[in-house]
Structure 1
Amino acid sequence: MLQTTNVKSLQVGIKHKLMGVDADLRFVGIYPTRDTQDCNKGWFCPYLFASARTPLVPRANDFSVCQFFGPFLGEGDYQMAHKLLSESAHSLSMCDPNPHNDIGTNRMVIVFTGISPFRADMWSTSRRPGCGTIIFHLLDGCPALIIPVTNKAPVCAWSPWTLAQMRQGQYAMNPLPGQYNAEWQHEQICEWLDTIVSVQHITATVRDRYVDVLSRMVSLVINGALALEKCKPLLGKLDPERSGIVMFRY
């Protein structure tokens, strides 16, 4: 397992021509929430808000994965995926990850990251006309994963569990029903990825055992995030309540 020794903070611009539209969100693995006041599951919503795409996440239900299907920003969302891939210190790929090479299908990059507003710790400063601005934090102990995906894959998606919840669940002596569990998150992500992965485009050497390989890859990301408890002095401005696992199609 990799250990985080450095955190890279990237200020990125999300170019758009939108005036404020509803984001098309679809939820996988829906189940009733145990806390209707909890808003952790929408931790990645500021990315959409910053680019004038308004997300609506129901408080009554929890879910395994939140999928975003549009409006799609070619110069924003794809470039975001390329940036996360190129700036990640380590990557694990089940296909050719180079976005300039055509493999016959789209790919998806999966990373653990944190987000921060543009200025003054206020998300309203990130929603700038024509170019949303947001800060991403990448950790060198959490590798980026790249898999080939089918046309069922969303523009982006995220796991609802935040780093704060992961830490709390990691040390819970008597976890409550619905509380964070690493094995549960692993199962949620792997089951969802299995519905969108394009098996025929996986590298031939791992195609026959891609289920095990994918499972181990996801484990490395989750374990890397859980190990951050030992690296608190390095984390700087990383907000545990705005950090988690995200996926971008490219």
Structure 2
Amino acid sequence: MLRTTSMRTLQCVVKHKLMDVDADLRLVRVTPSQNPLSCEKGWFCPYLFASSRTPIIPRSQDFAIAQCFGPFLAGDYQLAHKLLSESAAVLSLCNPDPTVNIGVNRILVTFIGITPYRGGMWSSSRRPGAALMNFHLLNGCPSMVIPVNNMAPIVAWNPTTLASIKNPGFNPEWLHEQICEFLDTIISIKDCAPGIRANYVPALGRTASMVVNGALGLRNVQPGILKGLDPERAGIAFFRY
């Protein structure tokens, strides 16, 4: 399940009625920046930019998770539903089916890549009334779903990209810790599956490790399989639905 043998590209349209508003971004676990010139912490920003939600990421700060709390678009949930349905494997701590009301929101955690709609220019993805983008899913990167409380963001991302993961000095335990620590603050334990509630900590840890290990496996994938994927625009993202 953790061996990537193919990549699927989805061309998605997210409709909106926004007119260049600022995105409400909040950073988790902020520290002084080790490399102010690095762009990897904003790898997922083009999604917000394309939907007319201007993101501002301070270069002087590093962080574990970037969260977006608004403005909200119905397309955000529709995108989460689409990515969920197209995922090769889904590991769930609750019923992941969006047609089933479990009483709370859920978050999809998945490794994805993003590229512009056409021409390699992000300006081509920002259209009046719609964001047009390509999302890349890997069949060796499982997704996970957990029930969340009202503290969960609309979308979020970890600043570690595929380019960082391929670095020989990369520490996967650090990435796993960042993700688990964040998810532990937003998970709704009472809405987990009955067999998981009493032992949600190890269940959350093991499930998150599958997501991380799927991403680590991309270091050994043949280059032809990842053709068209930008390693600096690929990482672990979170989608509420």
TM-score by length of 2: 0.98
CA distance in 1, matches of 2:204, 2:226: 27
After TM superposition, give the deviation of residue 21 of structure 1 in Å: 0.4
Equivalent residue, structure 1, for 2:44: 44
SS for the counterpart of 1:92 is: strand
Supply the AA of the counterpart residue of 1:36.
P
Matched, 1:226 2:216: yes
Supply the AA of the counterpart residue of 2:120.
D
SS for the counterpart of 1:5 is: coil
Q: 2:178 aligns with which of 150, 170, 188?
A: 188
Supply the AA of the counterpart residue of 1:68.
C
After TM superposition, give the deviation of residue 218 of structure 1 in Å: 1.0
After TM superposition, give the deviation of residue 227 of structure 1 in Å: 1.0
Matched, 1:238 2:226: no
Equivalent residue, structure 1, for 2:67: 67
After TM superposition, give the deviation of residue 149 of structure 1 in Å: 0.1
Equivalent residue, structure 1, for 2:192: 202
Equivalent residue, structure 2, for 1:175: none
After TM superposition, give the deviation of residue 64 of structure 1 in Å: 0.5
Q: Within 5 Å, which residues of 2 pair with 1:97-108?
A: 97-108=96-107
Supply the AA of the counterpart residue of 2:35.
D
Q: Describe the superposition over 1:111-167 as per-residue Cα deviations: whole angstroms up to 9, x where unpaired.
A: 000000001000000001111100000001011100000010000100011000111
Any conservation in 1 of the 2:2–2:217 contact (CA below 8 Å)?
no
Equivalent residue, structure 2, for 1:30: 30
Q: Which runs of 5+ in 1 are unaligned?
A: 173-179
* 85-94 or 228-237: bigger deviation: 228-237
Q: Provide the aligned length of Structure 1 versus Structure 2.
A: 240
* Runs of 4 or more consecutive aligned structure 1 residues displaced over 3 Å after TM superposition: none
Q: Describe the superposition over 1:9-34 as per-residue Cα deviations: whole angstroms up to 9, x where unpaired.
A: 00000100011000000000000011
SS for the counterpart of 1:161 is: strand
Matched, 1:212 2:202: yes
After TM superposition, give the deviation of residue 181 of structure 1 in Å: 1.7
After TM superposition, give the deviation of residue 233 of structure 1 in Å: 2.2
Equivalent residue, structure 1, for 2:127: 128
Q: Describe the superposition over 1:40-87 as per-residue Cα deviations: whole angstroms up to 9, x where unpaired.
A: 10000000000000000000000000000000001x100010011001
SS for the counterpart of 1:159 is: strand
CA distance in 1, matches of 2:184, 2:9: 31
CA distance in 2, matches of 1:87, 1:41: 26
Q: Within 5 Å, which residues of 2 pair with 1:125-204?
A: 125-168=124-167, 171-172=168-169, 180-204=170-194
Equivalent residue, structure 2, for 1:10: 10
CA distance in 1, matches of 2:204, 2:224: 31
CA distance in 1, matches of 2:162, 2:113: 9
Q: Within 5 Å, which residues of 2 pair with 1:58-97?
A: 58-74=58-74, 76-97=75-96
CA distance in 1, matches of 2:203, 2:141: 16
CA distance in 2, matches of 1:225, 1:189: 13
Supply the AA of the counterpart residue of 1:37.
L
TM-score by length of 1: 0.94
CA distance in 2, matches of 1:143, 1:224: 7
Q: Which runs of 5+ in 2 are unaligned?
A: none
Supply the AA of the counterpart residue of 1:184.
W
